[in-house]
A and B are shown apart, each in its own frame.
Chain A
Amino acid sequence: MRYLARRVIAAAVLVAVVSSGALLLTRLAPGDFASDLFGAGASAATIARERARYGLDRSPVSQYLDWLGRAARLDFGVSLVYHRPVAELVAQRAANTGLLALVALVFATLLGLPAGIITGSRRRGLLPTILRGLSLVLLSLPSLITSLVLVLVAARTQWFPTGGMQSAGAWDAGVFAGLADLARHLPLPALAIALPLSAMIERVQSQSMGDALEMPFTLSTLARGVPRSRLVWRDALRPAIGPVAAMYGFVLGSLLSGSFVVEVVTSWPGLGRLMYDALRARDLYLVAGCAAAGSLFLAVGTLLSDLLQAWADPRLRRDEAGGTSGGSA
């Protein structure tokens, strides 16, 4: 419990620092929402009036303290662009990004983990060589290129829609039709995120599997006559999965910050795209809200990865228990 409380406090600090930084940087950068709204050529009086209307004429410190006071009560203010509460806008889009991230993670795991086990357990052979080569290619491709290639493939083959999250009126024909339509839209952006990620998982899992197969217990198991495939897929897998599990937290966090390119290219209405639009419009409260959501994802992801690691490696549970009791003594 104490461990969990510590993590919750750390998460709150992380969210506060990241969102404060985002707000202050947006506020201090040249230009602001009012000048962006009216563009070059607006009269000074008009710009001044708009700045006063949105409270942008106050000092950054006073504006920040005011925002911080409200944010402490979970009121993240009202978006300058949309005139809607930031929390409402962020919650809507975070759900979309959360779904995309989850599906991408599943795809990445389904592709990357087996590939990593194969390449880690077999040093030679055609399949491991091809998989390693593919991983290197996918790792070196920026998400923008992956997204564009996938969109192009979708456009040529018509297998999947080239963008968006749902077709117009998809839910009119019922929940099942709506879900089917959503499912048809998901693979494209999810794969755009998942492919480089799967390559990363493959690399980590491959290394980890190689190490696990050289541990004394696996060598002794092999010496006892256990078939190699059983050793790999059953005995060595659990200790080898730790590093990948540790990576998941950061991956979850980075999915939110890194998915914005994919969301823009594939027209996915997620948090990344909302933050991109907010940054372009200099909507500082919305930027801060999006940053808070992103850092919250990172904190939750890190916690989940710790729990996964603890599940995979009982030594960590003992260490944590020891550390906790030691700390309270």
Chain B
Amino acid sequence: MTASRLVYQPFPVVGALILIALVSLSGGCRKEAPPPENTAPVKALVSSLRAEPRTFNRYAGRDSVLEIFTLLTQARLVRIDRRTQALEPWLAESWTSSEDGLTYTLKLRPGVTFSDGTPFTSADVLFAFRAVYDEKTGSALGESMRVGGKPLAVSAPDTSTVVVRFPSAFGPGLRLLDNLAILPRHKLEAALNGGTLGKAWDLATPPAEIVGLGPFVLKAYQPGQRLVFERNPRYWRTDGRGHRLPVLDRLTLEIVPDQNAELLGLQTGQTDFTQSEVRPEDYATLKRAADAGKLSLLDLGVGLDADSFWLNLRPNRPAVAKRPWLLRAELRRAISHAVDRRAFAETVFLGAAVPVHGPVTPGNTRWYSADLPRLEYDVPAARRLLAGIGLTDRDGDGVLEDRAGATAGFTILTQKGNTALERGAAFLAEDLKKVGLAVDVAPLDVGAVIDRIERGDYDAVYFRFLTTDLDPALNIDLWVSSGSAHVWNPGQSKPATEWEREIDRLMGRQVAALDQAQRKALFDQVQTIVAEQLPMIQFAAPRIYLATSVRVVNATPALLRPAILWNPDTLGVR
């Protein structure tokens, strides 16, 4: 019998039909069974997910559900506190670094065991590094665990010590290890040796086989329905009073693909919290429920992700030969001047947003700079800038033409079905029409947008990148000209512009600097160049609200996703 059969319950159809009638006749009301006497009440919470898990193997996949699964069932050597951004000991209880900042010696916490009782040792850490760098496994983690394209060198002098050596100076240092879940060597080494680690721990794996160092263990997975977790009795953390964590006995993650249904589940008490932030259009309803004491509404402040607009700055594409002004910084500055950011925040986010002028929002307190150059709403200034690059209304029809007489316009691609993006793109098109630019919006399926970005087959894009790391050195691919996430002109063999060359130089120093103040100063210079050159333009960042049932206690919500489940072991229930 396969594992999937173990968790998937067949049902006699005829019996079900008879019972529908019986239950319907009896009113169909939900009746909770009374708890057995003389037993402590089970501390349980129910949350929801919008998508199915794809695998249970952190080394094989990369998606938000897997990230949550890993946070619940596995642990890392060090952890970044997502509220304070401070690095804290986790499986490694302490560490020292060499003077040059290249070598770190980590002391592992003694007495820690996996959920099946197997002791955790430095051999598990060595296995984890071997697994993520294994070419056959092709782990996405392997790429993020490199510095300057080179892997870290790891050794273990004894069972409780690990030495990590960086190939070059790296400012974030051990923060990099926050990504690396330590999976059990004794369960997965055979698969790694056999070249099948990428297929290990798929969805048919019996839950008992999936062991870990996290606060919970998987009890059941019912495809399309839910994941049920129970407390890991061997979990190593205790609270301040010495009580063994986690607080919860059980955590259920219901799979609810529709956000409206997810919201209803929250309102009716069937769900205690969701992974999604409150949509602007749902805020008023939830606020009323919160005021009536039915829900808790948590204000997390300004979010980390501001939707970004950018023009395709690849110089050798055919469109640029006909419309060279598409590459001009004056056009980007004119666009920034032409958009009324306050009205944008009011219209697109229904007021639950603040105007922003750069990719790093005020939500990222560690790296945000309030002193950057700003191009405020100024339509005449926008018109002057456009005239300066030859875009004027030559035939008096209200639309600008270039020197060749062609209409000055472009198409903005955006993601179909994402209401904030669609509203935002429509708002941009309207404001840009006011300065004479003929702008169309083409909402496409997300896969098609990504495909067009990848192929460079577009004029402009309005899209959202989800922030996964706040430290710019961990998002280096966005900033440097050779980076794959340098979306306006990715993977350059040498910088196409002087300002990109300067950003490359500054980011090189920023990544290698070990002093936080120096790193911040260098990154401020990068942000200043970006604010002047505007390769990406941001208009507003939404305020983030989360709703939970009043049963949830000790939640420590953070802006980085998952907002609540990043810290699951202290989560409690009233």
Residues of A within 8 A of B (CB): 29-32, 35-44, 46-47, 49-50, 53, 81-84, 88-89, 92-93, 95-96, 99, 102-103, 106, 148, 151-152, 155, 158-166, 168-169, 171, 173, 178-180, 182-184, 186-187, 190, 264-270, 273-274, 276-277, 280, 282
- Report whether A99 and B261 are in contact in the complex, using a CB–CB cutoff of 8 Å: no
Which residue of the partner chain A has the closest CB to B135?
Answer: A49
A46-B261 CB under 8 A given contacts A99-B13, A162-B268, A270-B224: no
Which residue of the partner chain A has the closest CB to B10?
Answer: A95
- Return chain A residues, CB-CB under 8 Å to B478: 41
A183-B19 CB under 8 A given contacts A36-B450, A40-B487: yes
Task: Tally B residues with Cβ within 8 Å of A.
Answer: 74
Asked whether B240 is an interface residue with its Cβ less than 8 Å from the other chain, the reply is no
Which residue of the partner chain A has the closest CB to B2?
Answer: A88
Within 8 A of A (CB), among B183-207: 199, 202-204
Which residue of the partner chain B has the closest CB to A41?
Answer: B485
- Report whether B260 and A265 are in contact in the complex, using a CB–CB cutoff of 8 Å: yes
- Return chain A residues, CB-CB under 8 Å to B465: 40-41
Q: How far is the CB of A167 from chain B (nearest CB, A)?
A: 9
Q: B1-35, CB under 8 A of A: which get 1 and which 0?
A: 00010001111110111011011100111100100
Contact of A179 among B11, B204, B268 (CB under 8 A): B11
Q: In whole angstroms, how far apart are the Cα atoms of A95 and B15 in the complex?
A: 15
Interface centre among B63, B454, B463 (most CB of A within 10 A): B454
- Return chain B residues, CB-CB under 8 Å to A99: 11, 13, 16
Q: In whole angstroms, how far apart are the Cα atoms of A185 and B531 in the complex?
A: 54
Q: In whole angstroms, how far apart are the Cα atoms of A96 and B257 in the complex?
A: 17
- Return chain B residues, CB-CB under 8 Å to A47: 454
Show 18 A/B contacts (Cβ-Cβ < 8 Å), sorted by A. Answer: A29-B447, A39-B450, A40-B450, A42-B484, A46-B140, A50-B138, A53-B138, A92-B4, A102-B17, A148-B260, A151-B261, A158-B29, A158-B30, A162-B261, A173-B33, A267-B225, A269-B225, A282-B447
- Return chain B residues, CB-CB under 8 Å to A44: 454, 484, 491
Asked whether B265 is an interface residue with its Cβ less than 8 Å from the other chain, the reply is yes
- Report whether B16 and A186 are in contact in the complex, using a CB–CB cutoff of 8 Å: yes
- Return chain B residues, CB-CB under 8 Å to A162: 261, 264-265, 268, 270
- Return chain A residues, CB-CB under 8 Å to B100: none
Q: In whole angstroms, how far apart are the Cα atoms of A270 and B52 in the complex?
A: 13
- Report whether B28 and A29 are in contact in the complex, using a CB–CB cutoff of 8 Å: no
Contact of B487 among A41, A106, A152 (CB under 8 A): A41
- Report whether A40 and B453 are in contact in the complex, using a CB–CB cutoff of 8 Å: yes
Q: In whole angstroms, how far apart are the Cα atoms of A229 and B468 in the complex?
A: 70
Q: How far is the CB of A154 from chain B (nearest CB, A)?
A: 8
Q: In whole angstroms, how far apart are the Cα atoms of A182 and B12 in the complex?
A: 11
Asked whether B143 is an interface residue with its Cβ less than 8 Å from the other chain, the reply is yes
- Report whether B199 and A83 are in contact in the complex, using a CB–CB cutoff of 8 Å: yes
Q: How far is the CB of B85 from chain A (nearest CB, A)?
A: 22
Q: In whole angstroms, how far apart are the Cα atoms of A273 and B62 in the complex?
A: 21
Q: How far is the CB of B467 from chain A (nearest CB, A)?
A: 12
Interface centre among A49, A265, A268, A282 (most CB of B within 10 A): A265
- Return chain A residues, CB-CB under 8 Å to B256: 163-164, 267
- Report whether A41 and B477 are in contact in the complex, using a CB–CB cutoff of 8 Å: yes
Q: How far is the CB of A125 from chain B (nearest CB, A)?
A: 28
Q: In whole angstroms, how far apart are the Cα atoms of A47 and B455 in the complex?
A: 12
6 new A-B contacts at CB < 8 Å, known A49-B138, A50-B138, A84-B202: A41-B487, A83-B203, A95-B10, A103-B16, A163-B264, A168-B228
Asked whether B255 is an interface residue with its Cβ less than 8 Å from the other chain, the reply is yes
Asked whether B394 is an interface residue with its Cβ less than 8 Å from the other chain, the reply is no
Asked whether B223 is an interface residue with its Cβ less than 8 Å from the other chain, the reply is yes
- Return chain B residues, CB-CB under 8 Å to A164: 225-226, 254, 256
Q: How far is the CB of B561 from chain A (nearest CB, A)?
A: 14
Q: In whole angstroms, how far apart are the Cα atoms of A88 and B254 in the complex?
A: 22
- Return chain A residues, CB-CB under 8 Å to B204: 84
Q: In whole angstroms, how far apart are the Cα atoms of A41 and B485 in the complex?
A: 4
Which residue of the partner chain A has the closest CB to B263?
Answer: A155
Asked whether B161 is an interface residue with its Cβ less than 8 Å from the other chain, the reply is no
A30-B453 CB under 8 A given contacts A41-B487, A267-B256: no
Q: How far is the CB of B208 from chain A (nearest CB, A)?
A: 16
- Report whether A269 and B16 are in contact in the complex, using a CB–CB cutoff of 8 Å: no
Q: How far is the CB of A70 from chain B (nearest CB, A)?
A: 18
Asked whether B521 is an interface residue with its Cβ less than 8 Å from the other chain, the reply is no
A83-B202 CB under 8 A given contacts A164-B225, A186-B20, A187-B24: yes
Contact of A267 among B143, B255, B444 (CB under 8 A): B255
A265-B199 CB under 8 A given contacts A161-B30, A168-B228, A184-B28: no
Asked whether B258 is an interface residue with its Cβ less than 8 Å from the other chain, the reply is yes
Asked whether B551 is an interface residue with its Cβ less than 8 Å from the other chain, the reply is no
Contact of A269 among B23, B140, B224 (CB under 8 A): B224
- Return chain B residues, CB-CB under 8 Å to A103: 16-17, 20
Q: How far is the CB of B413 from chain A (nearest CB, A)?
A: 11
- Return chain B residues, CB-CB under 8 Å to A35: 447, 450-451, 454
- Return chain B residues, CB-CB under 8 Å to A187: 20, 24, 28
Q: In whole angstroms, how far apart are the Cα atoms of A268 and B220 in the complex?
A: 18
A38-B140 CB under 8 A given contacts A81-B54, A161-B270: yes
Q: How far is the CB of B465 from chain A (nearest CB, A)?
A: 7
- Report whether A158 and B268 are in contact in the complex, using a CB–CB cutoff of 8 Å: yes
Q: How far is the CB of B255 from chain A (nearest CB, A)?
A: 7
